[in-house]
Amino acid sequence: MGGRSAERDISLQTGRAISETLQKTGYQVCSIEVEKDLATKLREEKIEVVFIALHGKYGEDGSVQGMMEIMEIPYTGSGVLASALAMNKMASKKIFQYHHLPTPGYKTITKSDLSKNAYSSDFGFPLIIKPLKEGSSIGVSIVRKESKLKAAFDLAFQYDREIIMERYIAGREIQVGILENRPLGAIEILPREEFYNYQAKYIPGRARHIFPAPLSKEKYAEALDLGIKAHQALGCEGATRTDLILDDNSFYYLLEVNTLPGMTNNSLLPEIARGVNINFNDLVEKILNGARLKA
């Protein structure tokens, strides 16, 4: 848990919740805050199975997963390739498009593009600017007019060397929880912010959650279907969460798949699981039992 990404604090909350639960269940648990000496710590502690509670770069992008494969230590969640694909918003969108899954239009931008003024938008305004490989809505902006583009670029480039410009889709925020290769359910998020940003995700009271999402039977089933199709298209395993937008014409757009969803008191996957009678202890143990080497 912890790690070196911008999501370190949330990862620590996730890690502590998981560690406490596993200890209460009777497992022998060693909590490791990830630094550069991770491999040494794993050897010294004689770790048998790794429960990955990291978020963001170096933890959710296939990096740590690759280390586990080399060290031959079974680990939870998705493998190296699925983790890397899901973390890279351009790569995952290309996979979605290949599988004919609906996703908003986009283009990627580098600092070199900015210097050449080669970043004109084909989508009009508003549009979304976000880092290519970051989570928890960190560095994300909704840009409603051209004069605000530079500030959005500057913010996103603080977190990545490449960013993504995405067509803005107005609509309802629907998220689907996946466990053991099947959809658990769909939840609707009603943020009190401009969108479901970092504050809305992690500060109590900044977003209202409705489970099950108040959709027609057909649209609910469609959300679950898109969620599992996205999970499978990327080759994910274990517990994931798929983010969707349902626009004003009742058309779904697939945004991304989170391969290591938060497990804090305010997190969506545990809330979805509770809604289908899977308590937190059971959820954590099910994820643990899915640990294995994937290579």
Classified by CATH at the fold level, domain 170-289 comes out as D-amino Acid Aminotransferase; Chain A, domain 1 (3.30.470)
Told to judge if 243 belongs to the known catalytic residues of this protein, a careful annotator would answer yes
Dihedral of CA 264/269/272/273: which sign? negative
Mean pLDDT for the chain overall: 90
The more confidently predicted of residues 83 and 8 is 83
Told to judge if 241 belongs to the known catalytic residues of this protein, a careful annotator would answer yes
Identify the band that residue 79 occupies on the pLDDT scale cut at 50, 70 and 90: very high
pLDDT at residue 136 in the model: 60
Provide the edge-to-edge strand list for the sheet that holds 162-167: 106-110, 162-167, 127-131, 141-143
Of the listed ranges 166-180, 182-196, 228-242, the one predicted with least confidence: 182-196
Among candidate residues 88, 241, 252, 253, the one labeled active-site is: 241
Whether 89 contacts 256, CB under 8 Å: yes
pLDDT at 3 over 80: yes
Q: Domain 8-84 class?
A: alpha beta
pLDDT at residue 205 in the model: 67
Domain extents in the chain: 8-84, 106-167, 170-289
Among candidate residues 7, 61, 134, 222, the one labeled active-site is: 7
Q: Which helix (H) or strand (E) holds 147?
A: none
| CATH for the stretch 106-167 | 3.30.1490.20
Told to judge if 7 belongs to the known catalytic residues of this protein, a careful annotator would answer yes
- Residue 150 neighbours by CB distance under 10 Å: 11
pTM: 0.90
As a whole number of angstroms, the longest Cα–Cα distance in the chain is 59
Cα 288 to chain centroid, rounded: 19
Told to judge if 141 belongs to the known catalytic residues of this protein, a careful annotator would answer no
**What DSSP designation does 97 have?**
H
Told to judge if 262 belongs to the known catalytic residues of this protein, a careful annotator would answer yes
